[in-house]
Structure 1
Amino acid sequence: MTVTYVIDGSRITGLDSFWDVIGEAVNGPGGYFGRNLDAFADCVGGLGTPRDESFVIEWHDHARSARALGHEETARRLAGLLTRAHPTNRARIERELADARAGRGPTLFDQLVGIVGERTGPGTLRLL
């Protein structure tokens, strides 16, 4: 049996709302499915999904989500990371932040889609 999780992309206004929407899609109201990229990767990779069943993630209104999780939101996240980054990571985060502010480089949407692709099989994510 294949379980289908539906992400309502019209509810995503930024990264914080994405965590809420994906948590509810997978685990019901108030559900948890990661609150950072590493935890999300762990959850998608089997720690938060049914291990005995295959699953599909349908991301409805993904174009709207892509805008909400675009370069501006990516820059906001990186600016927050920079305030608490280890000194050895600062230069990399500063470069990524400059790129995001200039509208270059991967966005949070790109990163989330990439995580699902890396941690699951082909066809698991359906962008609708």
Structure 2
Amino acid sequence: MLNTSNNNTRKMIVIHGGHFSSLQEFYEEVSSVLMKDTDWKVGTLDGFDDILYGDFGVFENNEEIVIVWKESGKSKEDLGFIATREFYENKIRQGKPFNVELIQQKLDDLNTGKGQTLFEILVEIIESHANISLMLE
């Protein structure tokens, strides 16, 4: 099968790591760049994954796009071990509707060095979309 996709035709979307230092601020940043001119705002990891399918933000479903994550090293630190631990601990404290046992397992994995940080989870979500290329800068 011939691949006629050309990087010059891909829409480029820029996430600025300097604009945020927490997961909530990340959601605000991606809402402003991916969902501008809509009333819908990202507020969860699942919601972030959902908008990457396109059709209700700045790009169409399956449109080839490039996400450039500027200052990704800062984001990797900001959304690293400490932020991830706090994220899981808050969900455990809140309890329902969260699956506390699953979240405790994720927290245990994180504490033993086997779990993913929020930054790694966000990168994995982006990379799970075949039509999206991610550039970490």
Shared fold by TM > 0.5?
yes
For structure 1, the 5+ residue unaligned runs are none
For structure 2, the 5+ residue unaligned runs are 1-8
Q: How has the CA–CA distance of structure 1 residues 91 and 12 changed in structure 2, closer, same or farther, with 3 Å as cutoff?
A: same
Asked if structure 2 preserves the Cα contact closer than 8 Å seen for 1:71 and 1:103, the reply is: no
Structure with the larger helix share? 1
TM-score, normalised with respect to structure 2: 0.77
Match of 1:124 in 2: 133
RMSD: 2.7
Match of 1:70 in 2: 80
Q: How has the CA–CA distance of structure 1 residues 29 and 78 changed in structure 2, closer, same or farther, with 3 Å as cutoff?
A: farther
Q: Secondary structure at the match of 1:35?
A: coil
Give the superposition deviation at 1:84.
3.3
Asked if structure 2 preserves the Cα contact closer than 8 Å seen for 1:11 and 1:21, the reply is: yes
Alignment partner of 1:80 out of 81, 87, 90: 90
Q: Structure 1 residue runs of 4+, over 6 Å off?
A: none
Q: Does 1:36 align with 2:44?
A: yes
Matched positions, count: 127
Structure ID, larger Rg: 2
Give the superposition deviation at 1:68.
0.3
Give the superposition deviation at 1:90.
1.9
